[in-house]
């Protein structure tokens, strides 16, 4: 095949470049959680479950088998969003960072007066929860002028009822953010003039709003759990600071430093344990605020809007989380400063102690040198004594020999040998000591 033919065979697509492993994920993430056009009365059920990686993998396998059982294809290995159509209803599975949501929607007869559990939903005995339940919400999409909408509206607790006009009064939304007898938070949408795209986008925002506001509140539980521990560490730091003012001596400061180190370790352990939870809550809270802004609410009949109600409840909780993080950060800096001060004190005291030890070592070295010099003097005398004694035997032998008539007497020869032996032994000992000193200097 020629080059021209080969180029034509490939068509007008991208050249055969090697794709980055994350390219598909990055591009697909923009469309990971799309909203779908919506028409007619419809009911939505959403459940959110906390799930780690292992639980998410097990749930994906289960969901794949469920899809096959209803004649649909299951999710791929890297799929984070999958949709299954079962007759007139739709089931969506979404994998988030730390949780999984299942959202089902099906037709709703707006003449139904029961308001009970919708039929044909998949969350029965056959359903397998991937982890602990966190989110449970029902959203009914009805005509605003229908009797069913009014019945759903009347069921809400009036003390916490939030009502808003949205999309330039094209719809009305209402909820009391309370759980019903089925454990569901109920939201109702009254459609006036919404088109299908607006209806799908509004429903998606409300479901996400309830999901993320629930997970945002997890940070408050972590903040409440860590706050007493931080208070104990703060009190411990105050006690150590008071004792530091009066402490003296190396051992006392070492004990204080050990206590301070334990407090710092406890603080860092708590901060590390709460960092993810508090950071995630902060991110979820930002998403909640974005969804509320996107609603474009207008207050109605003196009721709270969704924004007003959630701001009054969520904002103090988020400030509690921020306050805890600030306390942890400030306390960490104070502990570090106190530890630095104590280490400085310990180092100074160690230096003073070492200086005294070095001075003692110098005194002992001088005494040892003097003792060594004394021993060397005595050793010179002792060696010379023995050498002169040997020379005396030699002089006596020479005096008794035939050559003795030509030599001085034994006593004279021994006397002459004494200074010579002393000088020789002294020089020999001194040379040995100098040789050892030179070797020590080289080492």
Strands across the sheet with 171-179, in order?
A: 81-86, 89-95, 99-107, 42-50, 133-143, 185-191, 171-179, 162-166, 298-299
Beta carbons of 128 and 63 less than 8 angstroms apart: no
Using CA atoms, how far apart are residues 393 and 261, in angstroms rounded to an integer? 78
Beta carbons of 168 and 310 less than 8 angstroms apart: no
Element of type H or E holding 289: helix 250-295
Using CA atoms, how far apart are residues 252 and 342, in angstroms rounded to an integer? 10
- Local structure of 186: helix, strand or coil: strand
- pLDDT of the chain, 443 residues: tens digit per residue: 444 444 444 444 556 777 777 766 666 665 556 678 888 899 999 999 999 999 999 999 999 999 999 889 988 887 888 999 988 899 999 999 899 999 999 998 755 545 566 778 889 888 999 999 999 999 999 999 998 899 888 889 888 899 999 999 999 999 999 998 889 999 999 999 999 999 999 999 999 999 999 999 999 999 999 999 999 999 999 998 888 877 777 778 888 888 889 999 999 999 999 999 999 999 999 999 999 999 999 998 788 999 999 999 899 999 999 999 999 999 999 999 988 888 887 777 777 777 777 777 878 877 777 777 676 666 777 777 777 777 777 777 777 777 666 667 767 777 777 788 778 877 777 777 777 666 666 65
Residue with tokens 């105050």: 238
Using CA atoms, how far apart are residues 310 and 308, in angstroms rounded to an integer? 6
Sequential DSSP letters for 328-362? HHHHHHHHHHHHHHHHHHHHHHHHHHHHHHHHHHH
Using CA atoms, how far apart are residues 373 and 171, in angstroms rounded to an integer? 109
- Local structure of 183: helix, strand or coil: coil
Q: Which two tokens stand for residue 151?
A: 């019945």
- Could you tell me if residue 378 is left (phi over 0), alpha (psi between -120 and 50 degrees) or otherwise beta? alpha
Give me Rg for the CA atoms of the chain: 46
In terms of DSSP bridges, do strands 89-95 and 99-107 run parallel, antiparallel, or are they unpaired? antiparallel
Using CA atoms, how far apart are residues 140 and 44, in angstroms rounded to an integer? 6
Residue with tokens 């400061």: 253
Q: How many CB atoms lie within 10 A of CB 429?
A: 15
Using CA atoms, how far apart are residues 379 and 425, in angstroms rounded to an integer? 9
Find the helix packing angle between 306-400 and 196-216, rounded to 10°.
40
């Amino acid at each position: 095949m020629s080059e021209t033919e080969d180029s034509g065979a490939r068509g007008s697509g991208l050249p055969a470049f090697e794709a980055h492993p994350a390219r598909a994920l990055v591009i697909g993430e923009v469309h990971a959680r799309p909203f779908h056009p919506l028409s007619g009365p419809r009911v939505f059920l959403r459940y959110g479950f906390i799930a780690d990686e292992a639980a998410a993998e097990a749930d994906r396998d289960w969901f794949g088998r469920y899809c096959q059982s209803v004649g649909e294809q299951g999710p791929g290995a890297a799929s984070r969003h999958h949709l299954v159509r079962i007759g007139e209803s739709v089931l969506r599975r979404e994998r988030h960072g730390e949780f999984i949501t299942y959202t089902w929607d099906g037709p709703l007869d707006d003449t139904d007066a029961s308001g009970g559990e919708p039929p044909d939903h998949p969350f029965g005995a056959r359903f397998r929860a991937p982890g602990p339940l966190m989110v449970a919400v029902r959203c009914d999409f009805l005509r605003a002028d229908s009797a069913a909408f009014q019945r759903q509206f009347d069921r809400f607790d009036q003390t916490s009822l939030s009502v808003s006009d949205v999309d330039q009064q094209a719809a009305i939304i209402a909820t009391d953010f309370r759980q019903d007898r089925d454990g569901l938070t109920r939201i109702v949408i009254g459609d006036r003039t919404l088109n299908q795209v607006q209806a799908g986008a509004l429903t998606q925002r409300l479901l996400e709003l309830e999901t993320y506001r629930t997970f945002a509140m997890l940070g408050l539980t972590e903040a409440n759990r860590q706050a007493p521990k931080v208070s104990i560490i703060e009190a411990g730091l105050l006690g150590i600071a008071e004792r530091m003012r009066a402490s003296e001596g190396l051992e006392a400061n070492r004990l204080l430093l050990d206590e301070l180190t334990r407090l710092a370790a406890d603080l860092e352990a708590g901060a590390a344990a709460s960092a993810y939870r508090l950071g995630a809550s902060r991110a979820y809270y930002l998403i909640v605020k974005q969804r509320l802004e996107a609603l474009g609410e207008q207050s109605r009949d003196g009721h709270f809007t969704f924004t007003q109600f959630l701001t009054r409840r969520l904002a103090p909780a988020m400030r509690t989380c921020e306050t805890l993080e600030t306390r942890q950060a400030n306390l960490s800096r104070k502990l570090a400063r106190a530890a630095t001060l104590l280490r400085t004190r310990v180092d100074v005291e160690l230096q003073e102690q070492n200086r005294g030890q070095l001075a003692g070592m110098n005194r002992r070295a001088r005494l040892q040198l003097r003792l060594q010099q004394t021993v060397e003097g005595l050793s010179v005398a002792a060696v010379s004594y023995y050498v002169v004694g040997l020379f005396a035997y030699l002089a006596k032998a020479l005096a008794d020999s035939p050559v003795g008539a030509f030599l001085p007497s034994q006593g004279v020869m021994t006397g002459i040998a004494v200074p010579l032996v002393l000088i020789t032994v002294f020089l020999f000992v001194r040379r040995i000591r100098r040789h050892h000193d030179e070797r020590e200097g080289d080492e």
